[in-house]
Amino acid sequence: MFDLNSSSQIPLNEQIVEQTKLMIAQGILIDGDTMPSVRDLSKALLINQSTVQKAYNKLKEEGILLTKKGLGTFVSLDDEIIDVKKEKLEKKLYDIFLKCIFYGISFEKIKNIYEKSKEDSNGCGSNEPL
């Protein structure tokens, strides 16, 4: 499920967060799917439980996971939170595009970067943050 790189500069908990988001974006995880328990995932990945807990807490804060006492942790995509995040991302993209225009980066170059990022996101082994 997860492919963590312990030699990466990206902390393990952030890798779990980003790979979870990537699996959702790819349709590997969908709304309502059960996530492994903190204990089970930490055992499977051979990492500390607090690392997994930190990742799960971040995903809960972002409205991506929901824990139901006695039942487990589930993918729970909150549409309102996702809409707000999309709006913020669109604003960031707008600002980036303005900088691209200022520095003379062509639309073709931007398109190539976009296509490369799409290709890179097809494998869940990506350890770079989204």
The DSSP line for 80-92 is HHHHHHHHHHHHH
Residue 60 CA, chain-centre distance (Å), reads: 12
What average pLDDT does the segment 79-97 reach? Answer: 89
In a domain, 129, yes or no: no
Quick one: 55 and 15 in the same domain?
A: yes
For residue 32, what pLDDT is reported? Answer: 94
Quick one: 17 and 60 in the same domain?
A: yes
* CA–CA gap between residue 77 and residue 5 (Å, rounded): 27
Number of domains in the chain: 2
- Please report, for residues 27, 39, 52, 90, the alpha-carbon distance to residue 15 in angstroms, rounded to integers and kept in the order given: 18, 17, 10, 23
Quick one: 91 and 36 in the same domain?
A: no
Which residues constitute the domain of residue 4?
1-77
**118 confidence band (pLDDT: 50, 70, 90):** confident
Tell me if the pTM is above 0.85: no
Tens digit of pLDDT for each residue in 24-68? 988 899 999 999 999 999 999 999 999 999 999 999 998 899 999
In a domain, 127, yes or no: no
CA atoms within 13 A on the CB side of 38: 14
For residue 72, the surrounding DSSP H or E stretch is strand 72-75
